[in-house]
Amino acid sequence: MIRSRWLAAALTALTLLAACVPGSNLPDTRPTDRQAKDIRTDVAAMGEVTLTVWDQEVRGGQDKQITALNAEFQRRYPNIRINRVPRSFDDLRNTTRLGLTSVQAPDVVQVNNGRQDMGAYVKAGLLLPMDGYAEVYRWHQRFPATVLRLARYPASGEPLGEGKLFGLPQGGELVGIYFNKQKLARLGIAPPRTWAEFDAALRKAKESREVPIQFGNLEKSAGIHLFGFALNRFAPTEDVYKLATGRQGVFWADDNPKAAAELLVRWAEDGMLTNGFSGLGSDAAWREFAQGKGVFLVSGTWLMADLEAAMGDRVGFVLPPTDDGKVAVTAGTSVPFAISARSRNPDAAAAYIEFLTSSRGMALMAEHANLPVVEATSQRPPTAFRAEVFNSWAHASETGGLVPYLDYATPTAYDTVTSVIEQLLAKRMSPQQVLDKLQADVDAARGGR
């Protein structure tokens, strides 16, 4: 999952710092998967336990749901005390390695799926395999394989999607189209379902002096989502999956990625994006959209609660357009909950994760305007907007239309993609130069073609 700028320099410094902190070191042996027969599930019989949990559930609806779930868990099991340490997404990413290598490592921590994060921690032996817990708690029956594979890694730390399970998510995520219902009504157009309809809607919005696509790319994170949105227009989902995860058989310089890069250039040149987008933050952009500046906003469902609170029934949501009826949408899961290899209470940690992702957890997710990763269609959302998002997730996940974020291919993919897309939109790089950079990043990670 990716949402904000990756502070590479900060991480590097912290990584080096981790090696120097007294009591910090890497494990001597790799953690082994706990066997199902050895796992304790009777939480009440585990004695007095303090679980330290690092999470990034700090946005409005996220914080409400996890605060409520933590309170319920502790009421049900008064012998468990949860020591919650909430951090922003960036802060959590920048401190996770330091935490996992510390003698006071958290028991549970949300770890970004990417190879540079979860993959690196798996390779270093810092996370506990969770397949034994998956068997005991029947996660394979409750969670689609397409969801679980986004937290699977072999011991080598690559590629994503293979090997053992190292995390479990609470929420689903989609990058779709938010639209302002009032503006669409004034323009006399319906929510676009095909690319021809979307193109026509952008032109009409522009002719009417509206901002067609509200967009802010100051932190560069919005650019990678817009590129993924455009790439899904041209490339088959299997090709996008290979590009995103660094697999063989597809190249960035192929015609479809080039068409996507050229589309972004046209949108920028034709004034389809917010004027001054390079200096506008992504949070500022969605707030401007909520205030009525912009017809469309291409972004993720992590904004659902914020936009619903700010716009009420003026906001709508649709999946990206399709010309052949096949859904293709950049998607993933919320940041998975993982267990530290140094946890002294792994069974209690797993029981806590099971509780967060239980049917009760999914219901509280939905109640506070978050997208449940499973059981979305069994919820009863109170608004048509929320129902549209939930149904979109269910439809895309059940029809094989989910494609991963574009930063899973290499340890440096996020920095590379966000940087070149920023330069593409600023006309400092041509589409071909962008694609050459992306391919070079993949080739370097493979040690050459």
Give 54-87 pLDDT, tens digit per residue.
999 988 788 999 999 999 999 999 999 999 999 9
| Confidence band, pLDDT 50/70/90 cuts, at residue 182 | very high
How buried is 281 (Cβ within 10 angstroms: 0-12 exposed, 13-18 middle, 19+ buried)?
middle
Please report which helix (H) or strand (E) contains residue 214, including its range: strand 213-214
Write out pLDDT tens, residues 95-129: 999 999 998 999 999 999 888 899 999 999 999 99
Residue 11: pLDDT over 60: no
Residue 8: pLDDT over 60: no
Contacts of 378 (CB under 8 A, 6+ apart): none
| Confidence band, pLDDT 50/70/90 cuts, at residue 26 | low
Residue 9: pLDDT over 60: no
Q: For residues 179 and 28, what is the distance between their CA atoms, to the nearest angstrom?
A: 53
Q: Does domain 42-171+334-378 have CATH number 3.40.190.10?
A: yes
For residue 158, the model assigns a pLDDT of: 85
Token match 């749901």: residue?
A: 65
pTM of the full structure: 0.80
For residue 197, the model assigns a pLDDT of: 98
Contact 422, 278 (CB under 8 A): yes
Q: Please, where in the chain does CATH 3.40.190.10 lie?
A: 42-171+334-378, 173-333+394-446
Q: Which of 41, 32, 51 lies closest to 138, judged by CA?
A: 41
Mean of the per-residue pLDDT values for the chain? Answer: 91
For residue 449, the model assigns a pLDDT of: 45
Q: Which of 402, 254, 405 lies closest to 328, judged by CA?
A: 402
Q: Which of 306, 314, 318, 310 lies closest to 368, judged by CA?
A: 306
Write out pLDDT tens, residues 378-413: 898 889 999 999 999 988 887 888 898 998 888 889
Name the token pair of 282.
Answer: 């992504």
Burial 339-354 (b: 16+ CB within 10 A, else e): bbbbbebbbbbbbbbb
Token match 């990417």: residue?
A: 114
> Percent of the chain having pLDDT more than 90?
76
For residue 408, the model assigns a pLDDT of: 85
One CATH from 3.40.190.10, 3.30.1860.10, 3.10.180.10, 3.40.630.30 for 173-333+394-446: 3.40.190.10
